[in-house]
Structure 1
Amino acid sequence: MPPTWHPRRSRVPGEAEMPRYKIVHRTTYQYETPVASSHHTAVMRPRDMPSQECVDFRLLVRPRPPIQSQRVSQRVDTFGNQVNQFSLQEPHTRLEVLALSSVVVRPRSLPPRSIIPAWEQVAAMARQPVGAEALNAAQFAYPSPQVTIWPELGRFARVSAPPGRCYLDVLDDLNRRIHAHVTFSPGETTVGTPVEQVFVRRRGVCQDLSHLMLACLRVLGLPGRYMSGYIRTRPPEGQPRLTGVDASHAWVAAYCPGSDWIELDPTNNLFPESDHITIGFGRDYSDVSPLSGLLVGGGEHTASVGVDVHPEADHA
């Protein structure tokens, strides 16, 4: 399979460059018995960063918290992601959380190969970081709660990283091989499935492929972030776009000194351009879980999630 990276062509003056998306992300929980009280944390607001700007965001909760002090509050976590929190103190058997966002995306591009070092130089920087940027990146070069490393993984990763190889080529090769190694198979794993199990069973979803990509980077000593967000699914040529075909998604960003971060999507074997919208990033899924909570009561529950990413307009 040929490499998936390529130089980006120059854009024609006046060509649409900055698509604007409206995002509707609905999560519904139905509880077997009434929940007496609950406290929830949501990481659902797309963050502002060089590749995008969130121009509007609303988080709606049903049932609505009846007391002002229990309504949606916000803070910024250690990675700079916006975190919203709310509590419900009245009995309820259903919870609906609706996140409405409007985001302008600036298409990403790969840095020139001429400025990209060999992969060993990036690993050396992570081992002995100098400066605030390198120190920040280095924290993503080590195992985390859901991204572990083991001997067999090291052997797998080093196939893509012979001595002196260009860092971009290492990233592209790992992206391609992980895409081939793990079959996308919804329902085969849960949010808690160990990454080593995914590697052995070779089946999983975007979260699993991203965790495996991060494990490969980190076993080589390379910094990698877990990216949580959305992906717009384009319809086949000539076919209408269907509501609900979009999804929450996960991919990876690898640090490149002098060029910030290079994003990779092992689930789709590509480098993101303008169809990926970032909510936030962390060491792994546990840092940016879209919605989590503590409940008193409720028994068994069912959950449904729906995402629609609708292009509003193009902004040059």
Structure 2
Amino acid sequence: MDLAAAIDAYTLHAARVRRLSPATVRAYASDLRDLARTLADDMPLEDVELEHLREWQWRATQRGDARSTLARRAAAARGFFGWAVEEGMLAVDPTLRLVTPKRGRPLPKVATAPSMSGVLEALAARAAGGDGLALRDHAIVELLYAAGIRVAELCGLDLDDLDLGRRTARVLGKGAKERVVPFGEPARRALDAYLVRGRPPLAARRAEDVGPGRAASALFLGARGGRVSPRAVYDVVAREVGPALGSSAVGPHTLRHSAATHMLDGGADLRTVQELLGHASLGTTQLYTHVSAERLAATYRLAHPRA
């Protein structure tokens, strides 16, 4: 089998069998197709050697790709060639001696608790006017911050995933893993107002090209009545939260980072935060302890007379 055909087969395997997230599948497919273009689409799979892979990574380095990108490319290659060995297409995995560059772990951008309060108060004031999109935006930001969920998890929510009485939402996370996340009373009020006064007029806008019933079950709707898109959620967060952080490079993950950090600041243990965020590894959650420690150190330097 040639390289391009094998990559297509692996992409299907990654999505259907390994059940990697759509974003991960797209990223890996893009990396592997870049490998195929670098070598030759019709190159036999068994002819790929370690030196070819090193050359492929070297070109990305010369291009100025970030270490995180190089690490992802190496992961994509490992997954692909490991699968090819399992399927009997290859006798030897050429990635066994492929070095993965160490990823930098930059600390995530985090909003302060007072700045988030200001953002949410401004959104609540705008929503009080009764506009459907303003009510939706308030509910979106409240839920992202209250539950620390990912943008894909938020966009995938259906009406029956929400339990306002118990103040919980059932979300489908990475690897199709389901979890139930709690949220507080302010988020419940925002969601209730959106469902009663905001969602019905948005649902009425459903355009013909969206198709009848396509968004009937969706919790959050877009301006045309279809299920809200991740891009629309990014725009909402950048517009509403960005000014509070003095940056336009702010997205839904900023609210997730902020939720985790503020919970740790408030005394939550790492395991609880791990469960809330749906992290497979505690090591991922531990990143937020560094954020909290840095903020503690900064406060100490400002406040302690002997600092």
Range into which the TM-score falls when normalised by the shorter chain = under 0.3
Please tell me whether Structure 1 or Structure 2 has the larger radius of gyration of its CA atoms. Answer: 2
TM-score normalised to the size of structure 2? 0.28
**TM-score, normalisation: structure 1:** 0.27
Q: Which has the higher helix share?
A: 2
Higher RCO structure, 1 or 2 (CA under 8 Å, sep 6+): 1
